[in-house]
């Protein structure tokens, strides 16, 4: 019997209307098995000898308005192999529940609190879930940040005693997906990697770079030295052959439109209004450099 021996956190921020799961394991593609979430409903982690039907069935139950505790009770009631299961649930209001079957391999267990459930099996010890709980409660920011910091703390505390292989984070919020059409906000998986939690963090940084938003105070006017630098980058990258004097002529504008589109930064640069977000500008300088470096 192969177990997705796992440590996970299921949590929500009812005020921000976000629900999600972060998970890591010495098991391939753990993100394809463990995390389930639905905006306005709740989130579930099903692991150990995972009953994957607990994901969709649990969300259906939560959608009726019953609590995490009641949902867990109903899922386990008709499962003859319940003692092999481990489950964490949060409901729409932040109620939480966790279950660790008696047959789950040591160390196995979990902790719950308002808005979160943390659990793991085949871990190096209870210090893993303790570290996760501490970091989750002490970290400020949006739910994906708090979930990741909790997962990272569990990894640093030893995590799965068999080693590392995969990690994932899945977070939903109403109209949180690209373009606002669906609720899937954050959905990143590292299916097979020697250091999956660290790699997952890199993917989250990438997500913030491409889809985050800077306050107006961090926007740079595309003029003067900023425009000169961009023209140098455009010339180095083969988009532009004109002078790099900081003048927004038609050739520069055409080159910038093509370049920004190719690099997928349309959401973080407005050529009509004449600004670019500082983190994106810094990234482009680091990535492409210039002849004057």
Domain ranges of the chain: 6-211, 216-288
Contact 230, 256 (CB under 8 A): yes
pTM value is 0.90
The pLDDT score that the predictor gives to residue 293 is 46
Distance set, CA 58 to CA 5, 83, 188, 217 (Å): 21, 18, 22, 44
Collapse the DSSP code of 44 into the 3-class scheme (helix H, G, I; strand E, B; otherwise coil) and give the result: strand
Contact 68, 91 (CB under 8 A): yes
Taking the C-alpha atoms of residue 39 and residue 172, their distance in angstroms, rounded to an integer, is 5
Taking the C-alpha atoms of residue 201 and residue 193, their distance in angstroms, rounded to an integer, is 13
Which position has the token pair 């770079």? 209
The pLDDT score that the predictor gives to residue 150 is 98
The pLDDT score that the predictor gives to residue 214 is 87
Contact 246, 228 (CB under 8 A): yes
What are 15's two structure tokens?
A: 């005020």
Taking the C-alpha atoms of residue 96 and residue 114, their distance in angstroms, rounded to an integer, is 7
**What is the pLDDT tens value at each position of the chain, 293 positions in all?**
555 568 999 999 999 999 999 999 999 999 999 999 999 999 999 999 999 999 999 999 999 999 999 999 999 998 999 999 999 999 999 999 999 999 999 899 999 999 999 999 999 999 999 999 999 999 999 999 999 999 999 999 998 889 999 999 999 999 999 889 999 999 999 999 999 999 999 999 999 999 988 899 999 999 999 999 999 999 999 999 999 999 999 999 999 999 999 999 998 999 999 999 999 999 999 999 744 44
- CA-nearest of 112, 104, 109 to 85 is 104
Omega before 179 cis (within 30°)?
no
Contact 128, 147 (CB under 8 A): no
Q: Kindly state the DSSP code that residue 105 receives in the 8-state scheme.
A: P
The pLDDT score that the predictor gives to residue 3 is 57
Domain 6-211: assigned CATH number: 3.60.20.10
Taking the C-alpha atoms of residue 271 and residue 258, their distance in angstroms, rounded to an integer, is 11
The answer for residues whose C-beta is within 8 angstroms of residue 182's C-beta and 6 or more apart is 175, 176
Taking the C-alpha atoms of residue 36 and residue 168, their distance in angstroms, rounded to an integer, is 11
């Amino acid at each position: 019997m192969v177990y997705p021996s796992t440590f996970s956190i299921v949590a929500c921020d009812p005020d921000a209307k976000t629900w999600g799961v972060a998970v890591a394991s010495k098991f391939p593609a753990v993100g394809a098995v463990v995390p389930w979430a639905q905006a306005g409903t709740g989130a579930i982690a099903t692991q150990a000898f995972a009953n994957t039907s607990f994901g969709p069935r649990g969300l259906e139950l939560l959608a009726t308005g019953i609590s995490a505790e009641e949902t867990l009770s109903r899922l386990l009631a008709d499962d003859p192999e319940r003692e092999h299961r481990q489950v964490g649930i949060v409901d729409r209001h932040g109620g939480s529940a966790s279950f660790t079957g008696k047959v789950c391999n040591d160390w196995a267990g979990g902790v719950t609190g308002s808005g979160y459930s943390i659990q793991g099996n085949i871990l190096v010890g209870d210090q893993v879930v303790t570290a996760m709980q501490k970091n989750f409660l002490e970290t400020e920011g949006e739910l994906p940040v708090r979930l990741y910091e909790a997962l990272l703390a569990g990894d640093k505390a030893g995590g799965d005693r068999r080693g590392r292989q995969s990690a994932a984070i899945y977070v939903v919020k109403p109209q949180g997906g690209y373009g606002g059409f669906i609720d899937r906000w954050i959905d990143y998986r590292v299916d097979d990697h020697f250091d999956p939690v660290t790699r997952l963090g890199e993917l989250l940084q990438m997500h913030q770079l491409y889809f985050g938003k800077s306050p107006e105070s961090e926007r740079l006017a595309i003029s003067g030295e900023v425009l000169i630098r961009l023209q140098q980058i455009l010339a180095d990258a083969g988009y532009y052959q004109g002078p790099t004097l900081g003048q927004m002529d038609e050739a520069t504008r055409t080159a910038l439109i093509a370049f920004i589109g190719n690099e997928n930064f349309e959401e973080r640069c407005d050529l009509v209004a004449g600004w670019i977000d500082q983190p994106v500008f810094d990234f482009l300088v680091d990535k492409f450099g210039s002849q004057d470096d």
